[in-house]
Amino acid sequence: MEPEVYIDGCLYPKSKAKISVYDHGLLYGDGIFEGIRVYSGRIFRFKEHIDRLYESAKAIRLRIPLSREELEQAVVDTVKANGMKDAYIRLVVTRGAGDLGIDPKKCSVGSVIIIVDKIKLYDEKLYQQGIAIITASTRRISPDMISQRVKSLNYLNSITAKMEADLAGVPESLMLNADGYVCECSADNIFIVRHGELLTPSPEFPILLGITRAVVMGIAAKKGLSVRELPLTLCDVYVADECFLTGTGAELIPVISVDGREIGNGKPGPVAGMLLEEFRTLRNSEGASLFD
């Protein structure tokens, strides 16, 4: 049975789910989205994701054509309609159909799309073995151009960096800003462990303030780890004792080499292992199941 996709109030089988070719989300990447996980029938950090969606919409003056309560209910109903207790939700709001110019005023009403399906970015063995990454030559777009805090449909900056990873035969690439400071990977936030401290790029750098990033920082603090946000260089990453990435799709994945340089002893470290275990315990128990 194929997934049911919500589009503007109606459910369609995946093979029949369509939008207008004049939708500015398609033509110009004019829209926003959230990736959300369902674990054991529970939508993980639902409030935080919806908060960020509405903040992104406000930042680009995009009117979501549903109230918050209506949107949340539409997501819940779509999850239930698909009957998946473990799933990935892609919640998309586009500017809607307009003409062939870029003027958003020509789009009469935004369009809401909710996809509920499976996702698997990494084989489970890689969470035990770790992954290699490279540094992309593609630099993160400066926040005085487009803010990375807006989770927009225009992902070409990240896609270009991901292509570099593909060409290098690794699953992910690290992106720097114009001054050479570490920002994030093409689709994940980055952390390092150095002398017992958990370090990650600070918010003033062009990074997405990831939901999983915040959860992991909270877990680390409760476990008594020192957690600091600060400017990081490639040298800091190269000499780190541990390195790992976080994201809604990736969860928490250890990194064992960067640009061919071994991180720590070349194996996933104890801090990453502990945080991954704690994260998975939390994700499976937080909140009530939609299917109870």
Give catalytic residue positions: 151
Q: What are phi and psi of 205, to 5 degrees?
A: -85, 155
Task: Return the structure tokens found at 252.
Answer: 């928490």
Count other Cβ atoms within 10 Å, centred on residue 130.
Answer: 22
Owner of token pair 């489970």: 124
Distance between CA atoms of residues 135 and 289, nearest Å: 40
Strand order in the sheet with 4-7: 10-13, 4-7, 111-117, 87-94, 31-39, 42-43
Residue 22 gets the label, from left (phi > 0), alpha (psi -120 to 50) or beta, of alpha
Distance between CA atoms of residues 23 and 30, nearest Å: 9
Maximum C-alpha span of the chain: 57
3-class DSSP assignment, residue 88:
strand
Distance between CA atoms of residues 167 and 171, nearest Å: 10
